[in-house]
Amino acid sequence: MRIEIVTIGNEVLSGRTFDTNFVYLARALEEASVVVGWHTTVGDNAELIGETLKLALSRADAVVMMGGLGPTPDDMTRKAVATALNRPLQLEESVLAHIRERGRRAGRKLPSSVETMALVPRGSEVWQNPVGAAPGILIDYRKKPVILLPGPPPEFEALAERHVVPWLRERSGTHVDSFTLRTFGLFESQLHERIGTLPDTWHGAALAYLPSWFGVDLRVTVTGANAALVRGTAERAYNELGERVQGVIYAEGTQTMEEAVRELLLERKWRIATAESCTGGLLAKRLTDLPGSSKCLERGYVTYSNASKQELLGVTSEDLAAHGAVSAAVAEHMARAARERAGVEVGVSITGIAGPDGGSEKKPVGTVFLAVSSPLGEAVRVHRFMGSRSTVRERAAQTALDMVRRHLAELPVDPTLY
């Protein structure tokens, strides 16, 4: 079974709302061995919604449409689908009773407009909404299911988990197995050179390169009718791909770089302190985003000015005069001082030029020095990051975390990385 997911809403098309519903459903369906073949987004326009549904039915085995089931005039999905499928809307008494009961429990008198959410295309099956009013709607159209779901994420996710995913899983004739290897240190083209034509030998598998400033995720998806063969191919792909890129894998699945660093710190029962200039606390923020970060993060120093570097970390005026704030000498001192003054085992520092101004011929915008200090030793590296101010800062924080990760794991320094 190959399905098409249709997102409905002007707010998504405008870019003002990120389509988290699609991300949630696509991942859930993949885990349930249901293949998503297409994803379409359409605005709040009844004619366009109808055209989109007809196109989806012409190529997909099932269609899931999300959004536009509310009581306001811009909620057009219900009417558009009824018209496109020639299934007139009719009142579903069980839904109306559900809506009225919700209003009674909330102690509110509901406007008559909310009762439009009890209208469903003729011949539909309804799935009552456990956290909202608008139901999920299942329509069997010429042996192709059309599923309509409300857009608010809590309501959508509840209906998807309780009804949609189990229903589609039972009817799927395809098995899916997948995994993600998260890499950092090589660009997409460099990874492709290492991997070569290896994926061509994995029957039924597809390899996707997913680059970002956090690195490049390698996502392998294997599909087929035989569950054992699919699983076997996925295991083979996992082992062979891992061998080709083993030096740059920092995590699997959805684990982040900061989570990988936290694990290594907790294994050693070590704590860390950060000293940041151009990233302004972004590195510490990444670490404190994690629950339980107090077990490994002691403190962070944001020393943006030269004066703060001197007052808080003891950077000398001689080093600043001789080398500048953006230098190996200052980065090394910052990491060492953060470690010593915080009384912890690991210190890490970032100092650089994020731009768009402030660069020079010798130190252009994007020049960043990173350093780490611990009982294992000290290291400093310089990088030239390209992109906007935000990108330079994000890449600097990610690279600093990877530097700490490799340092704690005692991995050899590879000058070809980054």
> Which residues are within 8 A (CB) of 392 and not within 5 positions of it... i.e. 6 or more apart?
278, 352, 353, 354, 355, 365, 366, 368, 385, 386
Beta strands in 225-340 (DSSP E): 249-252, 272-276, 297-302
Q: Could you tell me where the DSSP H helices lie in 88-198?
A: 93-106, 153-159, 165-171, 188-195
What per-residue confidence (pLDDT) applies to 110? 76
The CA distance from 253 to 407, in Å, is: 22
Interval 12-31: pLDDT, tens? 999 999 999 999 999 999 88
For residue 5, give the 3-state DSSP assignment.
strand
Q: Which residues of the chain have pLDDT under 50?
A: none
Q: Write the CATH number of the domain with boundaries 175-252.
A: 3.30.70.2860
Q: Where do you find CATH 3.30.70.2860 in the chain?
A: 175-252
Phi–psi pair at 346, nearest 5 degrees:
-130, 135
Interval 246-301: pLDDT, tens? 999 999 999 999 999 999 999 999 999 999 999 999 999 999 999 999 999 999 99
> Which residues are within 8 A (CB) of 397 and not within 5 positions of it... i.e. 6 or more apart?
279, 282, 283, 286, 350
Cis before residue 356, ω within 30 degrees of 0? yes
What per-residue confidence (pLDDT) applies to 103? 86
Q: Where do you find CATH 3.40.980.10 in the chain?
A: 2-171
The class of domain 2-171 in CATH terms is alpha beta
Gap between the terminal Cα atoms of the chain: 42
Beta carbons of 102 and 134 less than 8 angstroms apart: no
DSSP for 272-290, please give it. EEEEESTTTTHHHHHHHTS
DSSP for 66-120, please give it. ES--SSSTT--HHHHHHHHHT--EEE-HHHHHHHHHHHHHHT-PPPGGGGGGGEE
Q: Where do you find CATH 3.90.950.20 in the chain?
A: 257-408
Phi–psi pair at 274, nearest 5 degrees:
-110, 150
Interval 127-142: pLDDT, tens? 999 999 999 999 999 9
The CA distance from 114 to 363, in Å, is: 62
Interval 95-130: pLDDT, tens? 999 998 988 888 877 788 888 999 999 999 999 999
* Average pLDDT over the chain, rounded to an integer: 95
The CA distance from 183 to 187, in Å, is: 9
* CA 381 vs CA 5, 85, 282: distances in Å: 46, 63, 19
This prediction has a pTM of 0.81
What per-residue confidence (pLDDT) applies to 307? 98
Nearest by Cα to 371 from 275, 253, 255: 275
What per-residue confidence (pLDDT) applies to 360? 94
The CA distance from 147 to 239, in Å, is: 38
Which CATH number is 257-408's, of 3.90.950.20, 3.40.1130.10, 3.40.50.300, 3.40.1410.10?
A: 3.90.950.20
The CA distance from 49 to 409, in Å, is: 53
CA angle 230, 231, 237 (to 5 degrees): 90
